[in-house]
Amino acid sequence: MKLAFSTLGVPGLPVPEVVALATAHGYHGVELRAHPEEPVHPGTGPAERAEAAALFRAAGVEVLGVAGYARVAAPGEDAPVLEEIRGLLRLAHDLEAPYVRVFPGADPARPREESDATAARRLGAAAEDAAALGVRILLETHDSHRTGADAIRVLGPVGHGHVGALWDVMHTWLGGEQPSQTYAALAPHLGYVQVKDIASAEDTTPLPLGAGILPLAECVEVLSRRNWDGWLCWEYEKRWYEAAAPLPDLLGAGREHLAGLLNASA
């Protein structure tokens, strides 16, 4: 498995410094948070996109994915959601990234079947755009669809190779799902896995990997037993928790922790 980290952990950090962190600490790739607060987002112009892609390429660091905020199950018209997804797809293509992250974002007041159908319809409509650009759209296990069992209700009906799943291990755990259950649900669709650690269900402040209670060893063991060889991406949510320790100080130990889990499961 290859290791990456998300720029959610280093909010606003310029691209050259992100690349330097990845190379200094031995990460194979980076997930870029695609938000206007960040140096690279869907509003970034062609020259800046090309420059960012060149910096990553020259350093031998891959842009794993573009982490967008489109909510595919949210109420409202399809057109704005589809345009947001297409903007993310174009950005990922320009950055030579294979994946785009989207959220479910269903309204809990709406019938579940209605939200699932909305999400499947929009993802199906965007799938051909994704295929044309050589990018996969990944629905993250998050908010209204936090488990693999939730996500598969959407992904199953879509049935397209350019639409898949992003497994966030915190949300599936919070949803009461065991790693083996999540993998069984998502395996045919799995793009990559976001790892993190927290103190408890009540305190989700990000912690160094291995310092909390999330079943990271079990997740890695499940993936290894199935000979899965994709990406593990550390999503350290510094942007939402200002008091959390700075991620750059933790990256080396985090990579060592993940490497140890991989060795133990081999």
> pLDDT tens digits, residue range 6-49?
999 999 999 999 999 999 999 999 999 999 999 999 999 999 99
Give pLDDT, residue 7. 98
**Helix, strand, coil percentages in the chain from 3-state DSSP, rounded to 5:** 45, 20, 35
Q: DSSP state, 158?
A: H
Give pLDDT, residue 234. 98
Burial string for 129-165 (b: 16+ CB within 10 Å, else e) reads bbbebebbbbbbbbbbbbbbbbbbbbbeebebebbbb
Chain centroid, CA 100 distance in Å:
8
Amino acid letter for position 203: D
Give pLDDT, residue 229. 94
Find the length of the chain. 266
Mean residue pLDDT of the chain comes to: 98
Q: How much is the average pLDDT of 93-112?
A: 98
For the chain, the C-alpha Rg in angstroms (whole number) is 17
CA distance 139 to 164: 6
Report phi then psi at 252, rounded to 5. Answer: -65, -50
Q: How confident is the model at residue 82 (pLDDT cuts 50, 70, 90)?
A: very high
pLDDT in tens, 155-206: 999 999 999 999 999 999 999 999 999 999 999 999 999 999 999 999 999 9
Give the percent of the chain with pLDDT over 70: 100
112: burial class by Cβ within 10 Å (0-12, 13-18, 19+)? middle
CA nearest 191: which of 67, 100, 82, 255? 100
CA angle 40, 41, 45 (to 5 degrees): 75
pLDDT in tens, 87-96: 999 999 999 9
Give pLDDT, residue 266. 84
